Structure 1
Amino acid sequence: MTYLEFKDRMQQFPVFSVREIKKHFPGFDNRRLVEWQEKGYIQKLRNRYYRFTDFQVNESYLFYCANSIYSPSYVSLESALSIYGFIPEGVFQITSCTTLKTNIFETPIGHFSYRHLKPSLFFGYHLQQWDDHYYAIAGPEKTIIDYLYLNSDVESYEAFESLRWNAAEMLSRISIKTLNAYVNHIGSKTLTSRVNLLKKYVNANT
């Protein structure tokens, strides 16, 4: 099998795993992966996950990669806060939530960070289309819930002021009904207190 034959079959996958390779090429010799890395045709993202180097790297591609190399997961936290315009600065890593253990991967195309959520909290995301593919990202309300649930230091009005969240953008994008439904579903007094502080902050800054 030549590299061109391999690419013709596998280029439908923006990220591909050794497992997927062997579905299409039973008996595949993994030494080819080392050879093609050395020639610059492919890059290793993490153990057993690869990409073609001529695939354009943009934000959507990075979000797709985040989902693919550590699954199940969905983009959330700082990355989603930035996408929705809730925080003023750009984010230099892709942040996600997962039911797997908390983890970090340094790759040739970026830094991927994952925070653990118990399975009962793994909801509130949707599939966003990117070309012919899809990636999972938290909705605006779940992005906020995830952040407040996982960041125990946000426990005062002053903490929200220091975060400098865009209150006007939040007010325009967030459904309070959905936010309250999520809080009630989770049933955490601490989370409820933090969300109430967030509402106070938003109301005071819009």
Structure 2
Amino acid sequence: MKWQDFLKRFGNEIIFESGSISVGEARSRNIQNRLYQWVMQGKLIKLRRGIYTFCAPYRKETPSSELIANRLVYPSYISLTYALFFYNLIPEGVFTVTNVTTDRGQFFTNPFGRFRYHHISADYFWGYYLLDQGSHQISIAYPEKAILDFFYFLKGDISSDRITEMRFQNLDQLSAERMIDYLRKFNRPKLYRIMQLAPFNKFIK
């Protein structure tokens, strides 16, 4: 396949997988070679094995880090510290897009950033929604689920002093009803204990 033919066929895709191009074993090898050549020529960017996006000036839209995070591992949704930063619930910048997945834990780096995936049981894989972002949608945890996911994975003793050091902010955007509902769905004693500490205790009174 020539570059112009490929561009005409797939140029509207923000992110694409090599598996959507290949048909048959022989053609699959040929496509893989072509993709490798186009990456080396600065026409494509390899996001991870089998997943690509176009380089400028060939791409019609630059993919966001959030969209890339959703596409690198499926199923997954954005949560934990990146979601807390996204909702302005913590003041510090977060430079790794953190995600939850029922797949195994993984970590990727590419020209668009760093992407970490934490494995979670399918029993806890909920509490996210599709957020409109330009011409596409991203899967991201509700703020309440991002907080509970964060504490679910956080190791060590979690005291009031430790929570204070995390400098949570803008908690008025949280829904007490949703927080209580999610706590019940999680049904983890650890999370109940944490939510009884300030500043979260006001949501479960």
Flag whether TM exceeds 0.5 (same fold): yes
Aligned partner of 2:105 among 99, 102, 107: 102
Counterparts of 1:74-153 in structure 2, within 5 Å, are 74-153=77-156
Amino acid at match of 2:18: V
The runs of at least 4 consecutive aligned structure 1 residues that moved more than 6 Å come to none
SS in 2 for 1:27: helix
Amino acid at match of 2:106: N
Counterparts of 1:175-194 in structure 2, within 5 Å, are 175-194=175-194
Encode CA deviations 1:133-171: one digit per residue, 9 max, x unaligned.
Answer: 2110001111111101111336110111111111xx11x
Question: Under a length normalisation based on structure 2, what TM-score does the superposition of the two structures give?
Answer: 0.88
Mark the CA change 1:16 to 1:101 in structure 2 (over 3 Å): closer, same or farther: same
Q: Distance in 1 between matches of 2:200 and 2:130?
A: 31
Amino acid at match of 1:5: D
Counterparts of 1:1-206 in structure 2, within 5 Å, are 1-22=1-22, 27-28=27-28, 29=30, 30-54=32-56, 55=59, 57=62, 61-153=64-156, 155-166=158-169, 169-170=170-171, 172-200=172-200
Please provide the CA RMSD for this pair: 1.9
Amino acid at match of 1:11: G
Shift of 1:175: 0.4
Q: Which one is further off, 189-198 or 72-81?
A: 189-198
- In percent, how many aligned pairs have the same letter? 30
Paired residue total: 196
Q: Distance in 2 between matches of 1:160 and 1:89?
A: 14
Shift of 1:57: 4.4
Question: Under a length normalisation based on structure 1, what TM-score does the superposition of the two structures give?
Answer: 0.88
Shift of 1:79: 1.0
Mark the CA change 1:202 to 1:164 in structure 2 (over 3 Å): closer, same or farther: farther
Q: Distance in 1 between matches of 2:157 and 2:116?
A: 20
Q: Distance in 1 between matches of 2:157 and 2:75?
A: 27
Q: Distance in 2 between matches of 1:87 and 1:159?
A: 14
Encode CA deviations 1:54-102: one digit per residue, 9 max, x unaligned.
Answer: 24546xx111110101111001111110111111011111111111111
Structure 1 unpaired stretches of 5+:
none
- Decide whether the 8 Å contact of 2:14 with 2:62 is kept in 1: no
